[in-house]
Structure 1
């Protein structure tokens, strides 16, 4: 579970959104875990570490550490299921975080998960 929390915190740290609703933040976290207790632990840990600020249902990432699509996203060919939307994909995009690899995602979902769209 500690690895899952670390991966979730690192995902929140790398969001490119200036702010997002708590619901949208949870949507991103659900690519790491669907366990509501772990989701809460991810949000609480991220807030305690200063990675995010939460107020009135709004989450504001504070880190400014963005995912570099050149060096931190790896593409692999194969038969995958996108962790965000559940679609079958032949090219999986995987984010390389310090806490571990996160993916696979389709080409549009990787942009959504990181806050590029």
Structure 2
């Protein structure tokens, strides 16, 4: 069953549009933040560090893919940086509040991006399309 799931995941990634890949990154980041939250609550420093670093790697990837000439990118970059720094502080200080700050920013980006994808699909394929 694990092999089938892995094959499904690989197929999902290889057939996804750039917009869907970005949505997957946001969802992955939120998943890792949730796992880091659990590790903080359980006072498991090693697991906390692992999942916060995974979240930070995703944020770094989102940052480097921004078009520096686009106005929206110039507005997004400081928010990504703030989320990244909040994760650093959450990791160093075992701080759920800082983790929540990063989580909220990424959740808002994810929700906005999901709406963009849904709007684009409705425009292309009609009202029934969902992300």
TM-score, structure 2 as length reference: 0.25
Q: Whose strand proportion is higher, 1 or 2?
A: 1
> Which fold has the larger relative contact order, with Cα–Cα distance below 8 Å and residues 6 or more apart in sequence?
1
* Structure number with bigger Rg: 2
